Structure 1
Amino acid sequence: MSDPKTLGLIGGLSWESTAEYYRLANETVHSRLGGLHSARVLVNSLDFAEIQALQDSRDWDALGARLADEADRLAKAGADVVLLCSNPLHVVADRIAEAIEVPLVHIADTAAGAAQNSGMKQIGLLGTAFTMNEDFYRARLEGHGLTVHTPAKSAVGEVNRIIYDELCVGIVTEKSRRYFRSVMQDLVDAGAEGIILGSTELELLITKDDADVPLFPTTRLHVEAALN
């Protein structure tokens, strides 16, 4: 029997979704192996406010160096694979991957692969304003042959607000769920055959029952890809 592998999580980005990463990793391992099996996980939980300040200032050198250092800590502690538990912070994913000798699983690649495997050609993308507006994420999806739809400019601000002001601090409301249902329907009307939940907090609010098309939850897909 091969030695068990260890997942390394760069978390706290937000801690609400990092808790989901930990839960999903353990649930998935248990479902596959049964008994008392659980996941071997190392969590490096950061202060989100410090990291967000670097992103807001667009100091990519400092942000990349900081997260690369945190990834290296995990690798040296025994992680066999590293996950950056945030969609927008993958803006510096290449810098992190270059700094460590173990794999960094890219969250957008896992989402794109799942969409392709489902036969999708046109995909909706929901996430923070940064994730939806900047090229780094869209280009990664388009590199897999997907046409990407994002919400109207009038909706981007409210989607972003709900993620940061509510979900990142553990607030889940039916009002916000209804709003996201409307936004997702607009994406479907624009041609989206499925929707990527491109914020790791969105799975706290949205389930497959909230849309008429398949949803691709990046937190769950990220964990499953790493375990595979």
Structure 2
Amino acid sequence: MKTIGLIGGMSWESTAHYYRVLNQETARQLGGLHSAPLIVHSVDFAPIAAMQSAGDWDGAGRQLHQVARGLAAAGAQVLGLATNTMHVVADTITQGLDIPFIHIADPTADALLADGFDSIGLLGTRFTMEMDFYRKRLEARGLTVLIPDVDRTNLNAIIYEELCHGMVTERSRDAYIAAIARLQQHGAQAVILGCTEICMLIDDSVSPLPTYDTTDLHAKALVAAALA
């Protein structure tokens, strides 16, 4: 099995979930006491979040590119970025690297298409919902992507002010359920949990629509790539 390099820390709450799924999936595939050969670089999220707010995507991309280079130099053979939003600078991060990079949107699209969905809702940070880097990648696969028409600011705040700190409240869960219900009214057949923390708040047991957890799908895709 190849060694997986993971750029994490954005936030560490979701990176902890990645670590668990990577090892659970490896054990499921290989059995026994097998676990994932894994190198994690968990960045300090505060400077990255400040660059997001300032629109300094170039600066954030350069910083994460150096992290990716370090992981490759340390022996990583497959690379993953444990955040949806920072895939906006995926091309900068991977520039010049000669190890495969597993984009978080690709296994998500694979799962949706395999299940026969073509109109889907997208939840995430306001950057993921409102910028086109994520939607275009899904649309290139033939998916119609819908985003909430109201309350995006509140949905974004719940991620940064609560979920990134490990806080889960019923009020915030209700806000996300209401957003999913509105997406359903606009024609969404399923919903992408397009921020790696949203799975802390929403799953199929409470959602009006089938949910696709990008954290879980991405981690499993990384294991598949490492085993290929």
**TM bracket, shorter-chain basis:** over 0.9
2 CA distance for matches of 1:80 and 1:223? 15
1:74 maps to 2:71: yes
Where in structure 2 are the equivalents of 1:1-228 lying within 5 Å?
4-152=1-149, 154-228=150-224
SS at match of 2:205: helix
SS at match of 1:83: strand
1:85 positional shift = 0.7
* Code of the aligned partner of 1:164: Y
Contact persistence 1:68–1:99 (CA under 8 A): no
Q: TM-score, normalised by structure 2?
A: 0.95
SS at match of 2:162: helix
SS at match of 2:138: helix
2 CA distance for matches of 1:127 and 1:99? 29
SS at match of 1:119: coil
Distance verdict in 2 for CA 1:99–1:68, change over 3 Å: farther
* Code of the aligned partner of 2:36: A
Aligned pair count reads: 224
CA deviation string 1:152-178 (max 9, x = no partner): 1x3101110111110000001122112
2 CA distance for matches of 1:101 and 1:54? 27
CA deviation string 1:101-144 (max 9, x = no partner): 10111111221121111111101000011110111111111111
Q: Give the percent of matched residue pairs that are identical in Structure 1 and Structure 2.
A: 49
2 CA distance for matches of 1:36 and 1:209? 31
2 CA distance for matches of 1:73 and 1:151? 38
* Code of the aligned partner of 1:16: E
* Code of the aligned partner of 1:116: L
Contact persistence 2:180–2:209 (CA under 8 A): no
Q: CA RMSD in A?
A: 1.1
Gaps of 5+ in 2: none
2 CA distance for matches of 1:195 and 1:165? 22
CA deviation string 1:22-42 (max 9, x = no partner): 011011111222211111111
Q: TM-score, normalised by structure 1?
A: 0.95
